[in-house]
Amino acid sequence: MYQKLNNSCVEGYSLLKHAYDILRKQKYHIIGSHSAVKKCYWVHKALVEGKFCYKAKFYGIESHRCIQFSPAILWCWNYCLHCWRYRPYDGTPANTRITLPLPSIDDPRFIVEMAIKEHQRTVSGYKMFSSINKRMYEEARNPKHVAISLTGEATLYPRLDELIYEFHRRGLTTFLVTRGVRPEILANLREEPTQLYVSIEAYNEEHYLRFNNPISPHLWKKTMETLEMLPSFTCPTVVRITLIKSFNMNNEALRQWAAILKRAQPTFIEVKAYMHIGRSTTRLTRNDMPLHSEVREWAEKLAEKLGYNVVSESKPSRVVLLSLLDKPAIRYGNPPISWHDPDYGDEFSGEYGNPEEAI
């Protein structure tokens, strides 16, 4: 996010404006210079159909009260093949990628206040729905959680520590998702998030360089440093593995994953299917998207190697939850669904059955 430009500033700012125009058309609510909020698919499902996301089931997050947010919407140090988000450098050779300029570093208090306001704007139209539960609508206008995960790499925002504090000060729980490329930032957080996620796909350096396309080959080592640091956190930690059939579901991948995760010792492991949507459809095939039964089978094998328990699953989101705990003991809210409840439907009744709505 904060590298020297390899092109003229004029070209960079022009590209930045063009990128924001595209994001606005995709219903991103841009905040200041580098942040954004976008209504999550499951906010709508919760308000309109009374159906909640897998994080509600696993951790008690109230889907309709969750802000989907990023403080670094166009800045990331990986160019992953499975990423479905808009990236202004898609289609350009790796050595000519443009580093977008950052006009200014916005104040955390401003970002947090605007994130809450923009979330309220995204749900304001539901007031007109006669079928909407009025209590849930009012709750949605009073968000309780923020997923710092929308797009980009959050640890590239230099005031992340203060940002987390400002959300906590307003009574929101924070769920920070990172690719683990900046362990020094995470190590020096004075204010830990409510829950920390590290999202990965590659199980060795060779596959990391090929699949995740980092801006520097040293980022594999940085990612491993982050994973090995997880036991030092006081907050619950999660490693989220995205499964891609042609890439990381073979027996050798399983063996190497187990070795990595034994060092990381996360509180939870989420094993989730790749979703064939958005920009990723130009780089991967639909056959790369595993069925829930395949995710479950692979997760069970991983659990056996690690000594973890399979504690829950969500078929609509094609995700399986593993933990050393017998059950997800942590509940951050009070949604009408728990880790042991049956799913609302099958794997085609959620975002995998409605991919155009999930982007």
| Binding site members for [4Fe-4S] cluster | 40, 53, 66, 76, 80, 83
Q: Is 255 helix (H, G, I), strand (E, B) or coil?
A: helix
Q: Looking at this protein, which amino acid is placed at residue 315?
A: K
Count CA within 13 A, CB hemisphere, residue 318: 25
What are the φ and ψ backbone dihedral angles of 319, each rounded to 5 degrees? -140, 145
Beta strands in 264-352 (DSSP E): 268-273, 309-314, 319-323
DSSP state of 339: T
Is residue 358 within 8 Å of residue 41, measured between CB atoms?
A: yes
Count of CA atoms in the C-beta half-sphere (13 A) of 121: 14
DSSP string, 112-173: HHHHHHHHHHHHGGGGG-TTS-HHHHHHHTS--EEEETSSS-GGGSTTHHHHHHHHHHTT-E
Binding residues: 40, 53, 66, 76, 80, 83
How much is the CA Rg of the chain, to the nearest whole Å? 19
Look at strands 309-314 and 319-323 and give their pairing.
antiparallel
Q: Where are the beta strands (DSSP E) in the chain?
A: 29-31, 35-37, 66-70, 145-148, 173-178, 195-200, 237-243, 268-273, 309-314, 319-323
Quick one: 294 exposed, middle or buried, by C-beta within 10 A (0-12, 13-18, 19+)? middle
Q: Cα–Cα distance between 211 and 114 in angstroms, integer?
A: 35
Residue 177 has which token pair? 């998702």
AA identity, residue 98: I
